[in-house]
Structure 1
Amino acid sequence: MSTSAIDDRRELVRRSTTDPALAPVNGIDFIQIDPADEARLVVQFIFDIDTDVDPDLPTAVGAPLSKQLVSIAGGERIRSIAVKSVQRGPASNQLQVIASEVGDFSTYTLQLGSPADPPPAGFDPVLCAASFTFHVECAKRFDCKDSALCVPPAQSAPNIDYLARDYPAFVRVMLDRLALLAPRWSERNPADLGVALVETLAYVADQLGYRHDVIDTEAYLNTARLRTSIRRHVRLVDYRLDDGCNARVWLALDLDADLPQGVPPGTRCATLFDGAGAPTLRADAQTYDMALAAGAQFFEVMADRFTADQPPRPNPRPLSADNNAMSLYAWSAREYCLPVGATAATLDGTYTLQRGAILILAEACGPDTGATADADPARRCVVRLVRDSAKSTDPLTLRPVTRIVWHDGDALPFPLCVSSVTDSTHGSRPLTGVSVAYGNVVLADHGRTLGSPLEAPQELLAAVPPYGRYRPLLSQPGVTLAAANPYLADQPGDTAKPIQPAARAASWSVADTVPTIALTSSDQDGNPLNWRAVGDLLEGGIDAETTAFETEVENDGTTYLRFGDGVNGHLVEPSMQFTASYRVGNGAAGNVAADSIGLIDRGFEGGGVIRSLTNPLPAFGGRDAETIAHARQNAPIAFRQQERAVTAQDYVDRALQFAGVARAAASLRYTGSWTTVFVTVERNAGVALDASFRTRLEAYLERYRMAGHDLEVEDAVRVPLRVAMHVCVANGYVAADLAKLLLAIFTSGLQPDGTPGLFNPQRFLMGEPFYLSPLIAAAQRVEGVASVKVTRFEREQSPDRTGLRTGVLVPRATELFELANDPDFPERGQFELTIDGGI
């Protein structure tokens, strides 16, 4: 019987002597164990016992008890405990029972009478037995009161198929279960209420099952399918998932008249497509529908970062119709070209060009034919002037000319022909103006700002929910990610501040790109708030008051906006309403070919003077978003890359990653108070190290420099060479003609076939040995050479015969050989050729 039932019975027995409805009976109240002698039990009765004589023990309300009616049962290890004596006292309602021995730690039961027989007269059948333990001093973890209740019958669990994970399986499982619970219900008509309820529950279960599967899948990098999940996983190891960026392009305009205010930032351009009336890009829905259907790519003249609080800066540089195409001046030479590495030229005519102006130098016609179609499209490059143009006059011909000088970082990577003589097929006639400089050049980037005529200029985002996170999505996919205009920080009129080269437009990193989204909202008081897009809300400088947001782009280009949590970024409030203006167009699709852009929206003031435009050079820099597979492969090991230069080789590896560095060497030297790292670099095409390039390279290496080290960037040590060669001419060949052929091969310029000469700076690499055998082999390949002998092959400053003996000159790691063979600069190396024999 449960403890609660015994307690209820005990209360009734207590009232039996006073309640006329109850017959008076006695019973055991509780049992005590004597701590001094655990074999002595004190049985406490509810009412008094009449006598303490053994064997007769009459009760106050019933028949006398006898010793044989008291027994002890139970036990685990010690059983059959007998009762030695029974005695009344010390109180009138107590009975002392002496057991034959002390039992074990289990529960025993003291019984009055036999369990199989009725209880002694005058005793309650329920309270004629009580449980106890002999060892009362043992610590108990729980209350000694028995709390056992009626145990319900065990229910068999239903046989559920846990592999059911979709809608049909859920329907089958529930109908099978119902067939067991309600076998008489066999309706399977979809219109039945029970079947409809089953199908509704199966639909909800299917949705929950899918959600559980998605959560389990997206929880791990190797199984996640959503780009947002991958982005957040890799961010835990400081790896930024690359969402790509847009392309840039240089546009050359042909004007009918001057354009003093220039081309406004944001002016829209597009590639040519069927049905377009060049050069006008009409701002109507039909034209845009045709352009989008034909796959045309849109570009816009670059401005500052696309934000609502900072309007685009106007273009401060006017454009002039005189600068459409400016011919280069050849100084009366029949055959003249600008060499590789040139940073200055002369224009044929009078032109006004300001410091910081962008020019495109390009071949206008073929040097051998004079035809425009034969111009080499590879002979085009962009340069930026570092000083205002200088007007002067040719003192010989009295022809007006203009001198221009551009940035060393834009040095010509190829020889550019200025004047030539056509081949015999085309009359061997002299050509001038083979190459020109396009002066009306603007920088544009890929992407189209949403607005008239196809879309609304602003998009109202979803309302902020009263609770939960606010993560709206943009209706148009493919949001443009772009870097800021690299030239906005330049002040063309400030000659004290160095100016960036044109090549700077092609150099930016993933961290520089941000979504081109202008987001506005209003606070609780109705005041407007401007939000700026950032690459990551965890980057420095973003606190709880910064109104910033980041974007999360999915695989299909869908863009979600993510706001701060009140710690990193301003917290969004339910009363806010957001409107967004943004651009679309991103990735490698913007890397269009040269001469493919020919349309421009001339709707701005003065735009009608634009006669035509084109992109002489292909667009560059467009990059598709990083794939999930690439992120899975690279992110787990990205944090293992050394981001601190410790050894000299670390500095070399980092310097080689800088654009424009061809070779690098580094050494750590103690300079008196600390260790200085000397980084020696060789620039591409052997261009000398200038102050601007040195400053940018030092700033780049500064982030990797270890604390306690100083940093110095040096140019390669130029080591002039001296080579003397004696050639014997075979009979029947003219020695003078043969000498001319040999000198055309052993030159620091280009050979007649356009390949670099054997002493061209491109053939000398810093730290690389220079071998003698290629010189001998090149001379012997010339028809008419009978024999070749090299008499000198040594350094100019330290002549010895080691080079002749070993056939190789080995430089130090920071040395760069040079052999210009220029009589005006003998200190840059000399080549001596002597010839005998022949005619």
Structure 2
Amino acid sequence: MTLIGPVLDDRDFEQLRTELIQRIPTFTPEWTDHNDSDPGIALLDLFAFLGESLLFRFNQIPDATKVAFLRLLGIPALPARPAEVLAALRTEVPGGVQLLRGGELRAGAVSFETDDEVYAWPVETLGMIKEAVPPPAEDDTAERARRCDALFRLGLGTGTPVQFFRPRLLPPDPAAPEAAPVTVADAVDRALWIAVLHAEGANPAALAREMAGHGLFLGVAFDESVDRPFRLADLDAAGAGRYRSTGLDAELPPTLWRLWTADGAELSPVQVARDTTEGLTTTGVVELTLPDPLVLPDPAVPPSGGADSPPPLEDAARAARVVAWLQVTRPLAAGQPGTAGSGDPIHRVRWVGANAVRATQARSITVPELLGVGSGGAGQVFPLVQRGILPRTVVLDVEESGRWQQWSEADSFAAARPGDRFYTVNLAAGEVRFGSGGQGPRVPQIGERIRVRAYRYGGGAAGNVAAGAITQVAATAGVTASNPLPAAGGRDAESLDAALERIPGEVHRRDRAVTADDFRELALRVPGVARAETLPLLHPDTPDVPAAGVVSVLVVPAEDVRDPAAPLPDRSLLREVTRYLDPRRLITTELYVIPPEYRRIGLAAGVVVRDGYQVDAVRRWVELILRQFLAPLPPYGPDGRGWPLGRTVRRAELEAVAVQVDGVEYLEGLLLSVPDPAAPHGMRAVPEVGLERYQLPEIVDLTVVSGAPLDPGSAYRPLPPTIPDAVIAPLPRDEC
């Protein structure tokens, strides 16, 4: 059948002609001859014809028409995406406080809902490892004497092989810029130890009785950033395998949780009730079921720190508040030699906290919604009260023969069979749609009531709150909340322009990744990805040798707090891209998702400023335009899409960019350089820098001065002291 779009102006030639003639007496009353033979009427006929043609074209292009046609394709605009956060609760109630799933946490005007149930105890945690200490230097007699004294105190001889360690605590504020993660691989026992401390003034014996047999909810945050500098050529086969689609989303590694009570006693295993950290590989919550009874460690006999013993706490006040010591390691497979923890270690840990729960920037409806009554027709649509619905959260029932029957949500009706009870949800618009009936899925019949029992709604970029922004727990007394890490993942609903640009490509791709453009466009749909490039035939292990059947997708994130100018994705984002692309690729395609490699360069420009312009302002503008021209992300770069992969950086091109700044008379010179340890300042001037097809430029040294350019790598340096080698000290003030 013919598709008819909405008509915004339905006037035709005759209507326009009649309207023009009716206006003649008002504007030109002396014009009295309105017959067809009059030359003026002939001109009005011409304008009416032109007006009808313009209206016809006008009615073909409005956004309303495009939206109507795109809706017929069944591909709606993307809804707002909610932010997610790891929150930690705190309470002083002796028996703890239970917060059910759906509990509301507030960060100002932004609300979050807990994804699971959590029981908050009046405890806090300390995460730490036994960090290995390297052997002392040959000439460090004091350190050698100290270690000999330690051996004597342990009753060991000087010839006994001993691995010394120092306790290293996890940073209390993981969001602080100076907070460095702890690598469990650096521990002598490759184990992470967690001390559970009761609140000050609490009764430890009573608390142990309350916690025995119940759950302890531990939040664990990891540093999943890619090591800098990232070099694709340095990857071996095992390293490249970590970026393969099957390696980034491989089988979860096992973990072994044990409880320590006293030196000499065997560590008792602790049951894991739930683990959203995917085997301590990504940030999440581990729910442990504590043993019953829960044996308290004797505060008078602190741990020795030996094998299967936690590291001693140097703070005596903290040591006296320990309720339990937990150890987590990677267990060995059956028949594998070694001890627990000698396998693949737990990697960089940023934070460990008690009473943790995942929360989502969303709200749930509190009462069911009655949508209406079925008509038996095809394509029935019913609006929900809220918009911005979260996927797979709608629970819908239809009353059939006096009994409520739950129906199932589907992405589309393409695979539905006759009689299937399916419906689809337009998440952005908040609409429920039923099928066509007949030979398709069943539709609500005449008189059948339709209700929705539950769904969640919300989302938006406003949910990306900073660390510590969450402070309140609504409708729950005696509990406070905080978020040790910023919330992430929130995104506003897709704009109309973005939807009109994306949806035609969706129709062409049909949700499959076959061509290079398919991989790129699908990767860009993952939140947090600002740029994606497809590199066919590139294997990360052998980037210079074409590999048949291999596709590598290079991902650049929207932001990277460590280096905003040269952003690298973390492994969490790489996993998200993998999980989205992997089911859409051909089974014969070997897929890798990799970060970009940055080639370090330096720039030194010397400018002559025109009269009447402020020198510092012009210099800053030249710096800015050079950085933007070489930036990896849109809307910067030569064509507004970021610097093209593999494009050679040429000095002449950069000179042409710099002279475009208003206020620059001409350039005294511009030097392009690359790192070279043998050069005077570590940088060597070159006319151009060639890049591999997986490389982007990174400016590590940029100077713009008035006059001749500085030497490559010299950068800006502070003035030397007036007296060389002098000690700088404040002069005490005079006191009478």
TM-score (normalised: structure 1)? 0.37
Greater relative CO, 1 or 2 (CA 8 Å, sep 6+)? 2
Kindly name which structure, 1 or 2, has the bigger radius of gyration based on alpha carbons: 1
TM-score (normalised: structure 2)? 0.42
